[in-house]
Amino acid sequence: MNPSRQIIRNTLCLLTVALMMTGCASSPRIVANADPGTDFLQFRTFGFMQPLGTDSASGRTLTSQHLISAVTTELERRGLRRTDDNPDLLVNFFISTREVLTSSPSSASSMHWRRGRYGTWSGYSMSMGTPTVTQQTQGTLAVDLVDARQRQLVWEGAASQRVTDSSRRNLEETLNSAIRDLFVELPF
């Protein structure tokens, strides 16, 4: 293969990988575990723990209210009914944030092509600079489903994602989206 074509091909491959990594950054990382001995079809009703892990000492938070609404929508969509009187499943939430430092090398690359007196000449150069360090807030939403009769955890899921100014401003939609993504992992 022509060396200049190889350089162009390699550069296009690097750009493709970079774009794919950028696209992945917007989706939350989901982790879920289910008790393999649990028959999830036995559950018909659900309710919420009192107090929820997202409540404050002074009462119910807006975050808890948004999560209750989102979970109610998703579980009712799956055929369960919400009740406060002896539910089969109890739902609880936890939210945590942490600051994460990431480091990425600073680099520049260029391709050059010149046609001169002695034929065509092409080249490729790359330079490295000081690394770029950024601080980001990483948020994690965890949801637990507990068998109310046995008081045993039967499913747990967590969604982690970078917290942005936009996600803070649109908290209700951010939480709705996280619950939708997380509940794809439910075994029923």
Residue 40 has phi, psi (to 5 degrees) of: -70, -15
Closest C-alpha to 157, from 179, 133, 176, 131: 179
- The tokens of 142 are what? 């965890």
In the chain, the domains with their CATH numbers are 3-183 (3.30.160)
Tens digit of each residue's pLDDT (9 = 90 or more) over 33-86 = 999 999 999 999 999 999 999 999 999 999 999 999 999 999 999 999 999 999
Question: Mean pLDDT, to the nearest integer, of 5-34?
Answer: 55
Give helix then strand counts, H and E, for the chain.
4, 8
Determine contact, residues 68/172, Cβ cutoff 8 Å: no
Determine contact, residues 63/171, Cβ cutoff 8 Å: yes
Residue 92 has phi, psi (to 5 degrees) of: -135, 155
Determine contact, residues 135/32, Cβ cutoff 8 Å: no
Note the pLDDT of residue 131. Answer: 80
* DSSP state letters, 120-148: EEEEEEEEE-PPEEEEEEEEEEEEEEEET
Note the pLDDT of residue 42. Answer: 96
The pTM of the full predicted model, rounded to 2 decimals, is: 0.71
Calculate ∠ Cα 49-55-60, nearest 5°. Answer: 95
Chain position carrying tokens 């393999």: 36
Closest C-alpha to 67, from 54, 57, 76, 82: 54
Average pLDDT, the chain: 83
